[in-house]
Amino acid sequence: MEDIIVRGAPAEYVCKSGVLDELEDKLQLRGIHQVLIVSGVKSWNAARYYFPNLKKIQVFHTFYEGECSVSEINRVCVLAQSHRVDAIIGVGGGKVLDVVKAAASASRTKSVLIPTLASNCAPWTPLSVIYSDEGVMTHYDVYPMSVDLLLVEPRILVEAPAPLLIAGIGDTLAKWYEADVQIRRLTHPPVALKVAHHTSRLCAEEMFNHAERAILDSKEARVSASFVKVVESIIMLGGMVGGFGDKFGRIAGAHSIHNGMTIAPESHEALHGSKVAYGILVQLLLEQKESEVERLLPFYHKLGLPTSLRDLNIADSWIDDIAVHATREEESIHNMRSEKITASEVAHVMRILESRSLIKK
């Protein structure tokens, strides 16, 4: 069995209303005097009302440009080095935060993350999903150091559009199915993998118990107990699964289906977690778990998660190409079993899912 490397958590994590009021003090405690803020335009507009005036910190600011690509990471890295900053602060969604983690690692600079969306576990995890400049997923980079400081302001997240929260719920639900299919194959899993397995199950339980209420509360911009539980499950629990599970806890079939879908240009408009949620259904059919698919479909419909390519505005003519891309040699879909999963198997179950979804509707 491969060695397990545990990167369980950021060095410091706080989730509470008003947490950004403490940002300057926390930066100074770390000896940070100059920072580069990287944000999207929309994410900065969402966060600026809560963002403090950093009177004792020199601030540089740049807006994220397009994709978490090698060229964008290099651009941010050059800016950080030219300004000689002590930290890079990411304010935004998953791709912005992934750029910051990558640039901070490359420039050996501290990283501070302030998510504006609860759409995936990117704020927690010491890795980045790298895309081409055209938006096609190419690979993952895992970093030796965790995030230095993660601050979650629920009032920012609750103001985000509900579909982004729904996507986060889909991504977090996948933690259970993708970790379980790998860890349950092990006769004697080490303690770290038991932690990951238990945490992945907790991810699913929290989604089943609180997701519907959290979505309703988010639509009314209400920071409720259910909303905070779902947010922390998406960010913290979701991140812990990979943090303790390493290669056995991060991704399996569902994320490979997501990666396969990125070759279809229309998929770039769909949210990461929504595509992963569809990928869960494909993975379960590959596992011959039709009864679990039947159990999930009403939950998906209730929350507004996609159950077909049509729901993602992707034509079914892409199925064969998606299947080929999802089963590339390096894809995590092959972690599901000892034998490689073939493109024809994936295409077959995708067509079953498409026809089943059409009948259901």
For range 139-155, the mean pLDDT? 95
User: What's the mean per-residue pLDDT of the chain?
Assistant: 95
pLDDT value at residue 136: 86
Are 315 and 297 contained in the same domain?
A: yes
Helix (H, G, I), strand (E, B) or coil at 35: strand
For range 79-88, the mean pLDDT? 97
Lowest-confidence region among 3-7, 105-109, 314-318: 3-7
Is 273 contained in some domain?
Answer: yes
CA–CA distance, 27 with 336 (Å, rounded to integer): 42
pLDDT of 186-206, one tens digit each?
999 999 999 999 999 999 999
The dihedral over CA atoms of 124, 128, 134, 135, expressed in degrees to the nearest 10, equals -40
- Residue 123's alpha-carbon distances to 85, 144, 187, 308, in angstroms, are 21, 16, 32, 28
For range 297-324, the mean pLDDT? 96
Is 3 contained in some domain?
Answer: no
Residue type, 274: S
Are 267 and 228 contained in the same domain?
A: yes
pLDDT value at residue 3: 85
Is 66 contained in some domain?
Answer: yes
pLDDT of 331-355, one tens digit each?
999 999 999 999 999 999 999 999 9
Lowest-confidence region among 147-151, 224-228, 334-338: 334-338
Q: Which of 157, 180, 205 is the last residue of a domain?
A: 157
Q: Which of 105, 137, 157 is the last residue of a domain?
A: 157
Q: Are strands 87-92 and 137-142 parallel, antiparallel or unpaired?
A: unpaired
For range 70-91, the mean pLDDT? 97
Is 6 contained in some domain?
Answer: no
Are 261 and 244 contained in the same domain?
A: yes
Q: Are strands 87-92 and 58-63 parallel, antiparallel or unpaired?
A: unpaired
Are 181 and 302 contained in the same domain?
A: yes
- Give first-to-last CA distance, the chain, whole Å: 45
pLDDT of 150-189, one tens digit each?
999 999 999 999 999 999 999 999 999 999 999 999 999 9
Show the domain range for 145.
13-157
172 Cβ contact partners less than 8 Å away, ≥ 6 residues apart? 120, 121, 203, 206, 207, 233, 234, 237, 238, 273
Token code pair at residue 334: 């092959």
Is 4 contained in some domain?
Answer: no
CA–CA distance, 282 with 293 (Å, rounded to integer): 9
Binding residues for NAD(+), as ranges, are 94-98, 116-119, 125, 127, 131
Are 19 and 137 contained in the same domain?
A: yes
Binding residues for glycerol, as ranges, are 171, 255, 272
pLDDT value at residue 24: 98
Lowest-confidence region among 22-36, 223-237, 264-278: 264-278
Residue 2 pLDDT class (50, 70, 90 cuts): confident
Q: What is the CATH number of the domain that holds 51?
A: 3.40.50.1970
Of 55, 44, 172, the closest CA to residue 114 belongs to: 44
pLDDT value at residue 229: 98
Q: Which residues of 64-89 are buried (b: 16+ CB within 10 A; e: fewer)?
A: beebbbbebbebbbebbeebebbbbb
Is 5 contained in some domain?
Answer: no
Is 356 contained in some domain?
Answer: yes
Residue 66 pLDDT class (50, 70, 90 cuts): confident
The dihedral over CA atoms of 250, 323, 274, 197, expressed in degrees to the nearest 10, equals -20
Crossing angle, helix 225-232 and helix 191-219, to 10 degrees? 140
pLDDT value at residue 360: 57
CA–CA distance, 20 with 90 (Å, rounded to integer): 13
Are 181 and 275 contained in the same domain?
A: yes
- The proportion of the chain whose per-residue pLDDT surpasses 70, expressed as a percent, equals 98
Token code pair at residue 187: 């006769």
Helices (H), the chain: 23-29, 41-47, 70-83, 94-107, 154-157, 162-183, 191-219, 225-232, 238-245, 253-261, 272-286, 290-303, 319-326, 343-360
pLDDT of 280-301, one tens digit each?
999 999 999 999 999 999 999 9
DSSP code for 77: H
Are 307 and 237 contained in the same domain?
A: yes
Are 124 and 198 contained in the same domain?
A: no
Q: What is the CATH number of the domain that holds 186?
A: 1.20.1090.10
For range 102-120, the mean pLDDT? 96
For range 89-115, the mean pLDDT? 97
pLDDT value at residue 122: 93
In total, how many domains does the chain have? 2
Is 268 contained in some domain?
Answer: yes
pLDDT value at residue 214: 98
Are 100 and 117 contained in the same domain?
A: yes
Token code pair at residue 85: 């900053």
Are 184 and 209 contained in the same domain?
A: yes
Are 149 and 174 contained in the same domain?
A: no
CA–CA distance, 212 with 194 (Å, rounded to integer): 28
Give residue 332's Cα distance to chain centre.
Answer: 16
pLDDT of 14-60, one tens digit each?
999 999 999 999 999 999 999 999 999 999 999 999 999 999 999 99
Of 128, 207, 129, the closest CA to residue 175 belongs to: 207
CA–CA distance, 283 with 277 (Å, rounded to integer): 10
Q: Which of 136, 157, 178 is the last residue of a domain?
A: 157
Lowest-confidence region among 122-131, 224-233, 244-253: 244-253
pLDDT value at residue 358: 60
pLDDT value at residue 359: 54
Are 140 and 206 contained in the same domain?
A: no
Binding residues, as ranges, are 94-98, 116-119, 125, 127, 131, 171, 255, 272
Predicted model pTM = 0.91
pLDDT value at residue 135: 86
CA–CA distance, 160 with 218 (Å, rounded to integer): 8
Q: What angle do CA 208, 214, 215 make, to 5 degrees?
A: 100
